[in-house]
Structure 1
Amino acid sequence: MAIIENIRRSIKKWLFPDNALGNYNDFSVIKDKSVAVVNPNVALTYSTIFACVRVIAETIATLPLFLYKVKGNNKVKAREHNLYSILHDAPNLECTSVSFFESLITQILLTGNGFAEIIKDNFNNILELHILDANKIRVYRDNYNNIVYEYNDDGKIISLSKRQVLHIAGLGWNGIIGYSPIALMRRQIATGIYQDNFALDFFSNGVKKVPILSHPNRISKEAKESMKESFRKSWDNGIVVLEEGITVNPITMNLSDAQFLESRRFSVEEICRIFRVPPHLIGDLSRSTNNNIEHQSIEFVTHTIRPWCVRIERALNNFLLNIKEKGKYTIEFMLDGLLRGDTLTRQQSNQIKLNNGILTRNQWRQQENMNEVEDEYGDDYFCSQQIRPIKKVYEENHTKDKNNEK
């Protein structure tokens, strides 16, 4: 069966080579034999990659995600819809919405694509969402020009249609498949991993000074090897006895001279640049101050988290809402909590909104995680008496002019 399946797949590729969307992790054009194999699993062992992926995935996964029902220019939470609890609470019985989106976003950040199988009932209602391993999926177009997701389930090939898969793609070429950042940036990542390995070797072996042995006489090659082996064994045991006038001149490697620390710091900045994460969010405070940290955090929300949230929202609306529901419902993240800033700035902003009839007292209290007030004015909008419609001002001035003429 395996042979037949391999033949079938090869024939399919041969029949429709132009329609195959290909393997999004295949960047053979830029492969370099001098660079070690770097895949998502290897990349995650590099602390900077792990920290960047973690801060983005956790930030987005812990944001409130709601399904809204659109009513004219307004929208209300559609709690009665089955998708509401799936997105907000738990997509299936095995995980919560936080762990689900955390895993999905991690796959997108590492492979460029995130996939989940959509489980529906006989009435086409969505019941559950289950994560699919992005490394086991191949996406192609069939002879009817339909997109097909081919999933390798431990050797068993399962073909899923577009209606059965939630696909969130990152930056890509054709709008369907996202590029793998790990594959594209493998040289930069490999450099950081090499530096980690070098540091490990240095501190495990290189802390001891490298000895140079000097013999007063010329000795044969065999004698040199014998002397080296004998000295190595004694050196490892901690006690060395020298004979025949041999002297030892230890040499210490200076990491500062090798600019090792500067190179490692540059590698951290390079990875942060790839993921658009401010270094202070992953623990690198070398260039951070109290004045710029808040602005960098706001930029992180604006230029990193928000684009990812919009990308995910568009995919959720496209893949999870049917034709009748599109336009009537919308799925959105709530980013207000990330943009709050410090307490004083937040309260000043809310005070301006309250004075101009944009915010009610109860809405303000909800933002601060406080209970609503029980009086009848908690949901009323207020505005300052000094602020009036400009039309009203013209009308009053016109009336005064008429009275003065009389």
Structure 2
Amino acid sequence: MSLLRRASRTRPERRFYAPQSSAGDPWAIPSNGSLAAFTPSGVPVTEDTAMSLLAVAACVRILSTKVAGLPFDAIRMRGPLRENIDPAPIIVGDPFGGTNNTAYPSRRVGFGQLMVSLLLRGNGYCLVLARDTLGRPTRLQVLHPDRVRCGWAPDGSGQRVYQINRKPVPTENIVHLMGMSHPEAATGMSLIAYARNAISLGLAAEEFGGRFFGNGAHMSGILEVPGDLDKERARALKESFTASHAGLQNAHAIGVLSGGAQFKPISVSPEDAQFLGTRQAQNLDIAMLFGVPPHMLGQVDRTTSWGTGIEQQSLGFLRYTLEAWTGLFEDAWSAMLPRPHVAAFDLDALLRTDTAGRFAVYTQARTAGIMTQDEIRARENLAPLPDGKGADINAPLNSSASPKADGADPGAASAKSDAASGMEP
């Protein structure tokens, strides 16, 4: 088809519409349509379409599962001393009621849902379902951000007001986790909305690659023959050539063409192959956007920028990325506990090194009188020593129990040891 004929064809009308939210509530679509706006690449970006980009889905999965999987404890502060509360309050140990009721999510699932909301929408919301006799929350429900509207009170009091499905809800019944935000903003910023051009470029590259391979428009080569061939003769020539030269058994074989026929191979042009480099660049941009080390997305050539070794890379990931997200949960949950109680994640699990390194640290901790044997065994998922022998912080390093703990006479034990070694007491 000539260029003039292509240009003269009537093209179908392109309609722009706001995609429906994953929550199924049309009221939840932003009035300005910012998340559904088309980008220069021609691909609309919402929180749902962004998740179809592999790099975005991988970053959301890594961050949400890491934060949700960390141990979460209630701590009593006694001046500078920290003491774990065992058992932890319900709002810390089982805030969503999923332990004894399969209809509600567990703490891990609930925290994961809140992290997904924070990463994609900049805000996470919970509704207080139950309180104890002192009015402190004991049961929460994770809300989809599309159901919630947040703004400032019109009376100028500086208090946030909330609506769920257009119905006002008391502010004290909402737990609001807010990501990055502008000054005087009632809600957090959506990373997807601000980075939609970069995400749309990655989506366009994936769509280009899918159409490139799916349409099959690229041929490995063409056969040229003098004169015109009808469809039957052209099909017969193609099938004959394919049968003689295609397949592994015909690899590197010598071909013979007669009748003036010529075979011309076609290679992928640099312009067509450029989308591979574009995808790699977009993966790096998405990793930078979410603060995820590139090596976690398969960019293994950039691991040294986050440190050498698993421990250093995990430390950088914790320091520059995870601490910002875990702090949001700790602040929100600490506000629901009586003072001086606070909620905190145990981040030591992310810094767990190899066996030799861990035992070297344990030895130093025992020598300095910082950890007992039972505390060390607990770190290694081992049971404490019987009869409280591992609770003595002053116990000898080369013995599981001191002579006094066994009821023996220290002097007799020393004399027996000297006699066995041939020394006079």
* TM superposition score normalised by structure 1: 0.72
* Distance in 2 of aligned mates of 1:239 and 1:162: 77
Aligned mate of 1:83, from 62, 87, 91: 91
Pick closer, same or farther for the CA change 1:88–1:151 going to 2, 3 Å. closer
Q: Distance in 1 between matches of 2:240 and 2:110?
A: 57
Structure with the larger RCO, 1 or 2 (CA within 8 Å, 6+ apart): 1
Q: 2:295 aligns with which of 273, 280, 284?
A: 280
Matched, 1:192 2:192: no
Pair 118,246 (structure 1): closer, same or farther in 2 beyond 3 Å: farther
Q: Aligned partners of 1:137, 1:215: CA distance in 2, in Å?
A: 68
- Structure 1 residues 211 and 283 mapped into 2: Cα distance closer, same or farther (>3 Å)? closer
User: Which structure 2 residues correspond to residues 45-64 of structure 1 after superposition, within 5 A?
Assistant: 45-64=52-71
For 1:172, what is the secondary structure of its paired residue? coil
Q: Which residue of 1 aligns with 2:161?
A: 148
Instruction: Name 2:253's counterpart in structure 1.
Output: none
Correspondent of 1:351 among 363, 367, 370: 363
Is the 1:23–1:138 Cα contact (8 Å) retained in structure 2?
A: no
Choose from 99, 105, 110 the match for 1:95.
105
CA contact (8 A) 1:195 1:264 kept: yes
Name the CA distance, whole Å, in 2 between partners of 1:307 and 1:210: 51
Once residues 375 and 255 of structure 1 are traced to their aligned partners in structure 2, the CA distance between those partners, rounded to angstroms, is 74
Tell me the distance in 1 between the aligned counterparts of 2:380 and 2:274: 49
Does residue 254 (structure 1) correspond to residue 261 (structure 2)? The answer is no
1:223 aligns with none
Deviation sequence 1:278-334 (CA, Å, 0-9, x none)? 12223332444794454222211221112211122112223x33xxx1x22111111
Evaluate the alpha carbon distance shift between residue 294 and residue 263 of structure 1 in structure 2; reply closer, same or farther with a 3 A threshold. Answer: farther
Could you report, residue by residue, the CA deviation over 1:144-192 in whole angstroms, capped at 9, with x for unpaired residues? Answer: 333111122xxxx222222111111111113642110001110111111
For residues 97 and 234 of structure 1, do their structure 2 counterparts lie closer, same or farther at Cα, with a shift above 3 Å needed? farther
Quote the RMSD (CA, aligned, Å): 3.8
Counterpart of 2:179 in structure 1 is 170
Give the 3 Å change call, closer, same or farther, for CA 114–292 of structure 1 in structure 2: same
Which deviations, in whole Å up to 9, do the C-alpha atoms of 1:204-239 show, x marking residues without a partner? 12464188899999xxxxxxxxx9xx89x979x989
Q: Which whole-Å CA distance do the structure 2 matches of 1:69 and 1:294 have between them? A: 29
Q: How far did residue 86 of structure 1 move?
A: 2.0
Q: TM-score, normalised by structure 2?
A: 0.69
Q: Among all aligned residue pairs of Structure 1 and Structure 2, give the percentage whose two residues are the same amino acid.
A: 26
Residue 34 to residue 266, structure 1, CA distance change in 2 (3 Å): closer
Aligned pairs for 1:213-228 (under 5 A) are: none
Query: Do the aligned residues in 2 keep the contact of 1:89 with 1:96 (CA within 8 Å)?
Result: yes
Quote how far apart the aligned CAs of 1:79 are: 2.0
What is the aligned length?
Answer: 340
1:356-395 correspondence runs (5 A): 356-382=368-394
